[in-house]
Structure 1
Amino acid sequence: MTVQATATLPQHIAIIMDGNGRWAQQRHLPRTVGHAKGSSGVRGLVEHCAKLGVKYLTLFAFSTENWNRPADEVSTLMGLFVQYLEKEMSSLAAAGVQLKVIGDVAGFAPELQTRIQAAEKATQHNQTITLVVAANYGGQWDVVQAVKNWQAAHPEASADQLTQAQLAQYLSTAGMPDVDLLIRTGGEQRISNFLLWQSAYAELYFTDVLWPDFDRVQLEKAIYWYGQRQRRFGLTSDQFLKAAV
């Protein structure tokens, strides 16, 4: 099975990277080893998306709820984020990757905030693909922040004047296309407060494959499945087929 750049190629793929801990437990290893293994495959998937022609890849790295995990696991996740910015960004930047981090980054340590800002600035003009890392992110938080930011920009306006198009301009993903394909690894079938607004019309692909085992072959399998879908956006099948002619 070979995926080619066609009209059915998703321009924005979002992934919930689930199953790192279970991958490690199945091998009688600490959960933190699973997270390290999961992070090691990210660069290859980003580069493969770029090769295929995908323009946006959003990864759910750390949710607002993940702070409730054991302290050592949270510490490991933060450390992996720092390591990723240190070791991988130069290679990704050379490949034309632009990095954007969305979420409440103010909740991170100052060192990590500084590294995020530096990586975003260093890659801001790259255009091959945008890698969006959702960190300390929640979809409900995103919508609430968008409303607050809209109100701050329009202090005299009534909420009755707020439209969907206007609110979208204040989401953390402003300027990006909505999600076409949302992938969740690890066997669970929910989106867990991830890109709720942006995934309103996304195709949802759930796989039992644990994140450390999700490779380029698995990615192409998901994209191929996406290519077989009819994205009708409210139309009937007949209307969709007529519009496609």
Structure 2
Amino acid sequence: MKITLYALFLSVVLFGCGSSEKTYKAKAFAANEDFNVFPKSKKNILTIVRTDSGASAAADRFAIQSKDTTITIDDAPNAAAKKFLLASFINTQKTAVLVQVASEAGKMAPFYIITVKDGVTEVVSLNKASKGAEDKKYTNGLEELTRSNILVNNDFFITTINSRVYPIKRQNPDERIQGKFFMYSSDKTTLVFLTANSLYQVNTATGETFNLPLPASLTSAPETLVGNIQSGYTWVVNANGTSFLKKNADDDRIVDIKEFKH
């Protein structure tokens, strides 16, 4: 009798855990994408489901479901994916989730945003081809600059407060920025990247850029670089109201150390 009841219980559990699957073709990111979508029904939200639990949080794997349907991403020539090593909502409405595919490629694995708009599920790719010589060094996957500001592979800047995704204008169109995020302006719209010989700056709101060459005496001494930038450079607002870091006309102005994040 106990065996019969156990078999019945097991069959119910397995049936209850089952769900359908649906494949969605990933589309390219468009600059006017709106992810701050409010659902018309409580059913039109996404759910993050842990599928595998590892010895550490980094070993966990996740699936994304819309209602009871598990989402699979088709982005050929990449392999179809339904299991993710990273999954995080980028809005409080739970209608948009950032995912990174679980693969042996690790931090080089592709990123997508899965979103539900007016009950329709879509997949948006956050992956751009790059031929940069130092891509492996500067393809850092997801970097949380603050709790609400996210950088993805030096190509996209995400603000979860308003669910905006900004493409970051490259210094060279054929390669992702060959540098490390260094700091941003006080309004967090101008991002500064430390490259081999300059501070490449790009404003995410306007698309304006400014490349500030640095003398070898600064770049060859990383231990004093922040202090030298702090004392010798200033945020200057241009005619469009955009802030860029520039060398001081004099050395009296000191940049607040709080402005530096790395």
TM range (shorter): under 0.3
| Structure with the largest fraction of helix | 1
Structure (1 or 2) with the larger CA radius of gyration: 2
User: What TM-score do you get using the length of structure 2 for normalisation?
Assistant: 0.22
Work out which structure has the larger RCO, using CA pairs closer than 8 Å and 6 or more positions apart in sequence.
Answer: 1
With structure 1 as the length reference, what TM-score do the two structures score? 0.23
